[in-house]
Chain A
């Protein structure tokens, strides 16, 4: 089932093609090229969004508004939120999905390669348009862009914001169609749905959310654009419109967006933990189906963002209960992960450190998430720094840690070279410290009375804010070892074997980096995706020349 690299890749119908560097700058239909295009583009925007965050924290180092003007500050926070969500985490998840899904299910490419390339090439114009708006007239109404404020802060900036999001939303929908069809229709015949890697399960759940949620956001944005540019009054109370309807439509997408951002990384963590702990995933079906449950529940919790808004009591209670229930499938995942590594033989490499760091910080975001679901408590902390802390524990502690874990884990597959572990571990330590130092004090700030999205604040909050600012500088610095590592290892790192982690999923059963159409011969499954550990009967079943994954088990009892 593998090509045990025989000097060179054996000839196949497509072997004449070779990947050139300039392919990465073209409309290329290879899912691996597209995956990398997504990842690199997303990281580029992450750097911009991070620079904006650093500017925000610099402003907040002192109570007075002295670093940028209040108008500029609102632009910073609007662009920071929008870029991080729509141009970093979502495209990075799409990049991982593009790269991994065909390899994991044993396909030669995605179901619709041209549409896939089209989806990617919508991201750079959408992103650049948004970033460049900073020099023209930038949006200032926050990433939520609630009317009537968003109708009053400047037509040009707000218009750019709307069209940028419409384009990236379209890209997201096209990508999701591809993920869904590829996962459902293009698995190798031996891969039943319950032998599918958990990353594919979580992408199934994600794709469903994107397809249901994103059109509703598009609807809200188009109506908002009419209000803004054509003077209609869908959401404008001056003409009898209802601004609360916008909030419902916006959050109908934007709460599921949290799961769109974090579910792919749940999947990645479920892949990474068993490999480096050398144990099967604990409760495969529970983890697989909990993704679908999260996805479904994720669609009926949106109004918990509106507990202090124009929502009647019964609606607040309904959304409180559904929101709290989401803790159950999420808990199933977290406990399953803990049971997976418990008793394992864990290699503490960079990928595993980030994966375990993911659990450590994500669980804090999960706990505060349940707290925020409780209406009486949420009424106190809504729109405060407590919420800022919570969402960053989920989206930085969850998604960003997950993306880093995934990059370290699949780096040998993608580049054919190993990462430098020392730099990776420095990166982890700096990120972990920086993250907690930045966002932990924000919990207390919010509880004590600091509202969010403000350029100046009460002087009694100064010391906690300065802690957070120091933390954010550590976070900014933490990306330096990562960048050096990624670039240097890609150029000069030690050569990676095809399966350096002795993993069992299909992407590791082809060459590193994979050939253009992934597999010489489509693989046949001989084991499940996580059959690590001592299976006395299995050794005899292994075909000769199979991957050496289970060879170690002979020395066990």
Chain B
């Protein structure tokens, strides 16, 4: 009884005080941490129970020297077995529902996640006979014919356009960020605090994974597929951006920084970074401008146009050059752009 109370209190305390998570830089992070704390409490309780039994056995149920007899012939106990089946079932159900709820609040069920409205309309018109059966009068944007990948809008954000949209391109071994509305291309990600952000993720060569540890979100970027992450940074600061999927020799160096800034600082950065060409209609192709050097000189490698961004990432351009010779440089490589 006493042991039970101690075990419960210890588990509750450790679940709240493990100190194992980095700072929370968004409201999503707090949700995930709540789930993790709960799992730590339950996990600590199970750990203490199992290790407690083992340690008691180690001291109490040691065979006495010279005692050659057997222990009691207990072959089972159905009620006890039902209890230790039912309790894990209950734990699993609670954790399952809790996780479902957290995932929903984060925006995991947004049916339009990673959707490109333009493409959807095009697909709809080809949709054929099945379409009239399904809500013919419904607004067109509710339909989607693609897989939603990543974390989309949370339930209360659905239908609301994000304040900031950034296209993220993963390539060996860098992240390239383009702001289509502003015409900015950067090797670092700058975001205003407390604004809803949508990142459209793509990969150019191999699979990468875009991870923001302080925001507890991650999504693979897959060549030929689009995915998205939508969140609201709430804490000013600078945070690591990490590639979490093995992407080649220099995978460990594929990192960047995320700067969450007050709106004044963010606006200042935008002003400084705006391209000299003011024509907004050209900015959509801005990424091609960065990649353009490769288009012009057909024989140039990925490394060549990474060099321009290399100083921002703290890399040695020579190292990039050395890493790339084994890579094929098909023209198809740029098809996904």
Which residues of A sit under 8 angstroms from B128, Cβ to Cβ?
none
User: Do the beta carbons of B61 and A341 come within 8 Å of each other?
Assistant: yes
* B249–A238 touching, CB < 8 Å: no
Chain B: interface size category: 35 or more
Residue B121 CB within 8 A of the other chain: no
Interface locus among A162-170, A448-456, A508-516, A518-526: A448-456
Q: Are B326 and A152 in contact (CB under 8 A)?
A: yes
Beta-carbon contact of A278 and B81 below 8 Å:
no
Q: Is the CB of B70 within 8 A of A345?
A: yes
Q: Which residue of A lies closest to B43 (CB)?
A: A367
Residue-wise, chain A 372-387 has the 8 Å CB interface mask toward B (1 for contact) of 0011110110111000
A189 at the interface (CB under 8 A from B): no
A148 at the interface (CB under 8 A from B): yes
Residue of A nearest to B107 (CB): A313
Closest residue of B by beta carbon distance from A371 = B39
- Given known pairs A342-B61, A343-B71, A345-B69, the reply for A331 and B85 (CB within 8 Å) is yes
CB <8 Å contact, B244 and A331: no
- Residue pair A383, B92 in contact (C-beta under 8 Å): no
Which residues from chain B contact A244 at a C-beta distance below 8 Å?
222, 225
Q: Which residues of B contact A327 (CB under 8 A)?
A: 88, 91-92
Bound Cα distance from A454 to B173, whole angstroms: 13
Contact A331 to B335, CB < 8 A, known contacts A310-B225, A380-B32: no
A153 CB–B CB distance under 8 Å? yes
Instruction: Report the minimum CB–CB distance from A380 to chain B (whole Å).
Output: 4
Q: Does A232 contact B (CB under 8 A)?
A: no
> Do the beta carbons of B244 and A451 come within 8 Å of each other?
yes
List the one stretch of B45-53, B133-141, B181-189, B280-288 in contact with chain A.
B45-53
Give the distance in Å from the alpha carbon of A341 to the alpha carbon of B50 in the complex: 12
Contacts known (A328-B85, A342-B57, A453-B251); A313 close to B148, Cβ less than 8 A? yes
Whether the pair A360, B21 counts as a contact (CB closer than 8 A) is: no
Residues on the A chain within 8 Å of B198, using CB: none
Asked whether, in the complex, the Cβ of B68 is within 8 Å of the Cβ of A552, the reply is: yes
Q: Specify which chain B residues have a CB less than 8 angstroms from the CB of A316 in the assembled complex.
A: 103, 108
With a cutoff of 8 Å between Cβ atoms, the chain A residues found around residue B245 in the complex are 146, 383
The chain A residue sitting closest to B56, CB to CB, is A342
- The reply to whether B217 and A141 form a contact with Cβ atoms under 8 Å apart is no
Residue ID in chain B nearest A325 by CB atoms: B92
CB-contacts of A336-379 with B (<8 A) = 336, 338-339, 341-348, 356, 359-360, 363-364, 367-368, 370-371, 374-377, 379
Is A171 an interface position by the 8 A CB rule? no
Q: Which of B163-171, B201-209, B258-266, B267-275 forms part of the interface with chain A? A: B201-209
Residue A222, interface by CB 8 Å: no
CA distance A339 to B56 in the complex (A): 12
Are B148 and A312 in contact, CB atoms less than 8 angstroms apart? Answer: yes
Known: A71-B249, A448-B22. A345 touches B242 (CB 8 A): no
B316 interface residue (CB < 8 Å to A): no
- A29 near B: Cβ within 8 Å? no
**Cβ-defined contact, B70 with A553, below 8 A:** yes
Residues of A contacting B77 in the complex (Cβ-Cβ under 8 angstroms): 282-283, 339
Task: Indicate if A65 sits at the interface (CB-CB under 8 A).
Answer: yes
B61→A308 contact, CB < 8 A: no
Q: Does A532 contact B (CB under 8 A)?
A: yes
Interface centre among A74, A375, A451, A555 (most CB of B within 10 A): A451
| A140 close to B (CB within 8 Å) | yes
Chain B residues, CB < 8 A from A380: 32, 213, 216-218
Closest to A335 in B: B84
> Does residue A48 face the partner (Cβ distance < 8 Å to B)?
no
Give the residue of B51, B106, B218, B247 whose beta carbon is less than 8 angstroms from that of A382: B218
Contact A149 B207 (CB under 8 A): yes
Contacts across chains A and B counted by CB atoms under 8 Å: 294
Question: Contact: B148 with A451, CB < 8 Å?
Answer: no
Alpha-carbon distance A360/B51, docked complex (angstroms): 6
In whole angstroms, how far apart are the Cα atoms of A384 and B70 in the complex?
47
Contact residues of B between 297 and 337, Cβ < 8 Å to A: 323, 326-328, 330, 332-333, 335-336
The yes or no answer to B89 lying at the interface (CB within 8 A) is yes
Is B223 at the interface (CB under 8 A from chain A)?
yes
A328 lies within 8 A of B80 (CB): no
CA–CA, A128 to B141, complex, Å?
58
Q: Tell me, in angstroms, the Cα distance from A443 to B88 when the chains sit together.
A: 23
CA separation between A136 and B156, bound complex, in Å? 57
Interface residues of B in 5-22 (CB under 8 A from A): 20-22
Judge if B73 is at the interface, Cβ distance under 8 Å.
yes
A74 contacts across to B, CB distance below 8 A: 246, 248-249, 251
B222 and A310 within 8 A (CB)? yes
- Tell me whether A556 and B69 are in contact in the complex, defined as CB-CB below 8 angstroms, given that A279-B74, A280-B75, A376-B216 are known contacts: yes
Residues of chain B contacted by A532 (CB below 8 angstroms): 70-71, 73
A118 interface residue, CB < 8 Å from B? no
Tell which of B62, B88, B109 has the most Cβ of chain A within 10 Å.
B88
Cβ contact within 8 Å between B216 and A454: no
A201 to chain B, nearest CB (A): 16
Q: Does B291 contact A (CB under 8 A)?
A: no
- Tell yes or no: B228 within 8 A of A by CB: no
Which residue of A is nearest B147, CB measured?
Answer: A312
Residue A181 is within 8 A (CB to CB) of chain B in the complex:
no
Among B99, B225, B227, chain A packs the most CB atoms within 10 A around the CB of B99
- B residues with a Cβ closer than 8 A to A are 20-22, 31-32, 35-36, 39, 43, 46-47, 50-51, 53-54, 57-58, 61-64, 67-77, 80-81, 84-85, 88-89, 91-92, 95-96, 98-100, 102-103, 106, 108-109, 113, 147-149, 151, 205-207, 209, 211, 213-214, 216-220, 222-225, 227, 240, 242-253, 323, 326-328, 330, 332-333, 335-336
**Given pairs A327-B88, A380-B213, 17 additional interface contacts (CB within 8 A):** A149-B247, A153-B326, A238-B330, A280-B73, A283-B81, A310-B225, A346-B62, A359-B54, A363-B47, A367-B47, A374-B35, A383-B218, A383-B245, A384-B244, A447-B20, A449-B22, A534-B73
Residues of A that sit less than 8 Å from B by CB: 65, 69-71, 73-74, 140-142, 144, 146, 148-149, 152-154, 237-240, 242-244, 277-286, 308-313, 316-317, 320-321, 324-325, 327-328, 331-332, 334-336, 338-339, 341-348, 356, 359-360, 363-364, 367-368, 370-371, 374-377, 379-380, 382-384, 443-444, 447-449, 451-458, 530-535, 550, 552-553, 555-556
18 CB < 8 A contacts A-B = A74-B251, A149-B248, A238-B330, A238-B332, A244-B225, A280-B74, A286-B76, A310-B149, A310-B220, A310-B222, A313-B108, A320-B99, A338-B53, A345-B62, A370-B95, A375-B99, A380-B32, A447-B21
The 5 lowest CB-CB distance pairs between A and B, nearest first, are: A533-B73, A454-B252, A449-B213, A237-B224, A383-B244
